[in-house]
Structure 1
């Protein structure tokens, strides 16, 4: 298949592209116009302004499938999602082509007594409060001849990319350098290695049914203070809690998302798509970095 991947130079988009290429697909990947970001080898690069409505129309019409993995990673992220999703739905309507959307586990808020599943209620923090409306749009499009698939990924790590290296990098703190975590660090992150997640997307493109949704998490959740401890041990520095109110001066509404206590099950993706994540867990990767 010829697959259009938005955000192909990002942590998720690049992993999706690599997995698709390994499986014999052709990948056309978008990058921001004028960007110096690198796409994986073998990708046909398409410079485009994704905020421009209709900018993907021609590329979408010539594609057999699409994966939306781009994000502006700022206050315009919701606007970007609405524009891109609407463009792709319009281009794919009535064709049966797959459209895989990058949602996130943050939608489910804190886990309860049992791990979250695809059916767990939504309780999103403010930073992704707009995302349920996009998911509703995709679900409705499944009845109009678009094979929409939503993937709610856990916190993505791997290859030194994503939020984890930024959050756990040693900083100047009280008494010298320290690895800081928000609050007391007792909350858990549900995680997935980017390359495992890329494989899940490729499987979804190939065989997920219309209107489906999958949680993309692998392994057991990791307590945040344990991850901070591994990094601190590597650098020979201390671990410190960071008052969330103070942290909001730097991380704004993201703090509430990183304070979520999350655990989730990927049983559905494993059973229906044959997904078998195999990359190193976060603590193993942090220790080896």
Structure 2
């Protein structure tokens, strides 16, 4: 296949590119900077310069490709308070891909997330699929992203082999600068490795290489309208994560009272306090996806989160 990939030089995309190339596919990656273009060229992918706002460019690339994987999101805008604007740009890109692929039977995969899918119980691929009543999830960025995911699966009715791949909140591996690396940095700064309350909150995770393999399998075989879960660890207790961090940094492991969580964990507080386990049983049965790389605690124990420039 000739695959058009947005977010191709990002944390997930840079693992998806070699995964697809090794399977014999050709990859055309969207790059908004010289640095991103260089990363893609060195990886062996073709480069298309542009951004998510260049809708004509996206439409043309999708029209000339055998399939599209959409991983890009304007995280820089989202984290500076513009989440709704970033979510709206994401929706425009997905709608553009849908128009280009309509009636072709070609695949369109987008990335979404599992966090908060079914708080307090194990979420499944069936959760979050039915359109909510108007206003049920509010009108902010998360509601917009949910609506975009639902619009993507609905493209199956327009002749697109569409799939939504929901990623665990932690996609870990050597080089990760996400939630797990932030927890390590907070522990260093505070002098303790903390967890909220009793630390029983369950945190789903997946190794980056296993997530990339799922995108590969879904591109080739996922039925139209699929919702898939890139989740290897269904739910790791946050206290267990804190214990590994404390051991590697030689810091005490302590409970942070819920009322103090915001001061201790800053922006990460709502996430580490959320019990959000997620299953990928349906995904495994549907596509034969079996994660083979280290789980969250084993990967954390390998030590790379505690060395290098970020340390």
TM, length-normalised to structure 1: 0.88
Q: Which residue matches 1:160?
A: 175
Is 1:187 equivalent to 2:201 in the alignment? Answer: yes
Q: Distance in 2 between matches of 1:277 and 1:196?
A: 5
Question: Number of residues paired by the alignment?
Answer: 281
What's the CA shift string for 1:161-183, capped at 9, x where partnerless? 1321123223322xxx2334455
**Does the aligned pair in 1 maintain the 2:12–2:208 contact within 8 Å?**
yes
What's the CA shift string for 1:34-71, capped at 9, x where partnerless? 44573361122222111233331221121101111112
Q: Distance in 2 between matches of 1:183 and 1:124?
A: 27
Distance apart, 1:207 and its partner CA: 0.8
**For structure 2, which runs of at least 5 residues remain unmatched after alignment?**
130-135, 304-311
Q: Distance in 1 between matches of 2:98 and 2:227?
A: 17
- 2:270 is paired with a residue whose SS is helix
Distance apart, 1:193 and its partner CA: 0.8
Give 1:253-264 correspondences, 5 Å limit: 255-264=269-278
More helix by share: 2
Q: Distance in 2 between matches of 1:151 and 1:124?
A: 20
Distance apart, 1:138 and its partner CA: 1.2
CA-atom RMSD, angstroms?
2.4
Distance apart, 1:259 and its partner CA: 2.7
What's the CA shift string for 1:250-280, capped at 9, x where partnerless? 42xx543443212222111111111111100
Is 1:172 equivalent to 2:169 in the alignment? Answer: no
Is 1:244 equivalent to 2:245 in the alignment? Answer: no
1:241 and 1:83, CA in 2 relative to 1: closer, same or farther beyond 3 A? farther
**Does the aligned pair in 1 maintain the 2:153–2:227 contact within 8 Å?**
no
Q: Distance in 2 between matches of 1:102 and 1:235?
A: 33
Is 1:120 equivalent to 2:127 in the alignment? Answer: yes
Is 1:38 equivalent to 2:45 in the alignment? Answer: no
1:209 and 1:164, CA in 2 relative to 1: closer, same or farther beyond 3 A? same
Is 1:25 equivalent to 2:20 in the alignment? Answer: no
2:87 pairs, out of 68, 78, 93, with 78
- 2:55 is paired with a residue whose SS is coil
1:132 and 1:220, CA in 2 relative to 1: closer, same or farther beyond 3 A? closer
Q: Distance in 2 between matches of 1:72 and 1:196?
A: 24
Give 1:81-96 correspondences, 5 Å limit: 81-96=90-105
**Does the aligned pair in 1 maintain the 2:166–2:230 contact within 8 Å?**
yes
Q: Which moved more, 1:159-168 or 1:146-155?
A: 159-168
Q: Distance in 2 between matches of 1:171 and 1:187?
A: 22
Q: Distance in 2 between matches of 1:54 and 1:111?
A: 43
Distance apart, 1:98 and its partner CA: 0.1
1:128 and 1:257, CA in 2 relative to 1: closer, same or farther beyond 3 A? farther
- 1:245 is paired with a residue whose SS is helix
TM, length-normalised to structure 2: 0.82
**Does the aligned pair in 2 maintain the 1:183–1:244 contact within 8 Å?**
no
1:101 pairs, out of 93, 98, 110, with 110
